[in-house]
Structure 1
Amino acid sequence: MESVAVTTPLWRWTSSAGPAAWYFLTIAGEAADAIRLAAISGQWLDGRRGFGSARVEARIGDTVWKTSVFPHRESGGWLLPVKAAVRKAEGLVEDEPVTVTVSL
């Protein structure tokens, strides 16, 4: 299984329609290119899915989970959602850099 690792700030997106907030890591540059190539070639875990997403396995510290990455037009990369359980388990703080490994 191939993987890519990046260190990038954790950021929060909030809805203008309500109190919902989602936390993401933006995967850009060479790591994003590797994901794109793997997703296009069908080598990524389960291939591409809705919204152009790709199923992945992510690791931050000791926490490993299965999720999806989503194309991010603004950066040309991918967005990795980081759920509350992961943020709490790893002590993640908004705007602080986080190292994540995404497995293909």
Structure 2
Amino acid sequence: MTAVEVMELEVTGEVWHWRGPAPYHFVTVPPEQSEEIREVAAEVTYGWGMIPVRGRLGATEFETALWPKDGGYVIPLKDRVRATESIELDDVVTVTLTIIERH
């Protein structure tokens, strides 16, 4: 399966934790950038509004999917990424995202 790069964004936000049935750490995509993502969402989503991305936080690269939330998107941060980059709850981080379309 190949991936085509659709858009690149740099997102800065505070790390927060959701304690739901699947606890996870996230960074919220600001409204202006969420609007940009919505413009390409239909062509890249693989269902449920999930948007596939390649991410980079510091020197750590990872793949994930943006989750739709409250009319915008959030970036899930895997434990491995946070541990490698020494990221803690409430830290303000910058994540480079490349939205991809899989073929």
TM class by shorter chain equals 0.7 to 0.9
Establish whether residue 62 from structure 1 lines up as the match of residue 67 from structure 2: no
- 2:16 corresponds in structure 1 to 11
Letter paired with 2:14: P
**Match for residue 99 of structure 1 among 83, 91, 94:** 94
Gaps of 5+ in 1: none
CA distance in 2, matches of 1:36, 1:58: 18
* CA offsets 1:22-42 (integer angstroms, 9 cap, x no match): 1111102221111111222x2
- Runs (4+) off by over 2 Å: none
The structure richer in strand per residue is 2
* Percentage of pairs with the same residue: 33
**Match for residue 39 of structure 1 among 34, 38, 41:** 41
Q: CA deviation at 1:50?
A: 2.5
**Match for residue 84 of structure 1 among 63, 79, 85:** 79
Letter paired with 2:58: G
Cα RMSD (Å) of the superposition? 1.4
State the secondary structure of the residue aligned to 2:33. helix
Compute the TM-score of the two structures, normalised by the length of structure 1: 0.82
Establish whether residue 25 from structure 1 lines up as the match of residue 20 from structure 2: no
Give the count of matched residue pairs. Answer: 94
State the secondary structure of the residue aligned to 1:51. coil
Compute the TM-score of the two structures, normalised by the length of structure 2: 0.83
State the secondary structure of the residue aligned to 1:94. coil
